[in-house]
Chains A and B, each alone.
Chain A
Amino acid sequence: AQSVTQLDSQVPVFEEAPVELRCNYSSSVSVYLFWYVQYPNQGLQLLLKYLSGSTLVESINGFEAEFNKSQTSFHLRKPSVHISDTAEYFCAVKGYSSASKIIFGSGTRLSIRP
């Protein structure tokens, strides 16, 4: 079985400041890792994913995450945030088996201050 821990329930930052949202996972098997974003009053959208290959993955809107197997982490970073990044961010994990379900973390609310 897998589990995901997002240590920070809320992260307030100023506009144009850098941000890191932390995600740690636990699994006895190899996993795929994801970050989903949920803007207010909307469903979840895939932000980025790690399936294999390069451990650094990037999204089209400037976010990146690095898969660190030794630390079982998949932290999300952005060097300069914008007001429009205000949202809930969910880290998720899925085992390699096709029968494995996607497990979501508890979420981190990113609030951007002008």
Chain B
Amino acid sequence: DTEVTQTPKHLVMGMTNKKSLKCEQHMGHRAMYWYKQKAKKPPELMFVYSYEKLSINESVPSRFSPECPNSSLLNLHLHALQPEDSALYLCASSQDKGLVLTFGAGSRLTVL
């Protein structure tokens, strides 16, 4: 299994809603990542988990809350988002050294 699976593919939420994005991989990768990608832009790193511990937080607002329940799962909890948070959210994983990222297809988020 060489895939990273993200759910849901599309999500529309209001600014007062609480929702979560989910990511799963079964490649035995020990590092998992959340990226945010706006239209026609490169992915921007948000969070990195290494061995289920948060190792990098790129000064992301607290309305985004990551969680790594186990080595195969990565969640991104969303609360009180703003319309400018609308974007494609990409999950990725890599083996220890993080040389090669395997990306999921993304969750397209629209905040109304």
Contact = CB atoms under 8 A, between A and B. Distances in A.
Nearest to A98: B97
B101 A46 contact: yes
B99 interface: yes
Interface residues of A, number: 21
B56 A90 contact: no
Nearest to A4: B42
B106 to A, nearest CB: 5
Most buried by A among B4, B48, B102: B102
B60 interface: no
Nearest to B44: A104
A101 B105 contact: no
Contacts of B99: 32, 49, 51, 94
A106 B98 CA distance: 21
B100 A43 contact: no
Contacts of B105: 41-43
A44 interface: yes
14 contacts: A41-B105, A42-B106, A43-B105, A43-B106, A44-B92, A44-B101, A45-B103, A46-B101, A51-B99, A98-B97, A101-B56, A105-B42, A107-B40, A107-B41
B100 A46 contact: yes
A34 B56 CA distance: 21
Interface size class on chain B is 20 to 34
Interface of B: 4, 6, 40-43, 45, 48, 56, 90, 92, 96-106
A39 B55 CA distance: 30
A17 interface: no
Contacts of B6: 43
Contacts of B104: 43
A102 interface: yes
B41 A106 contact: yes
A107 B39 CA distance: 11
A107 B43 CA distance: 10
B55 to A, nearest CB: 9
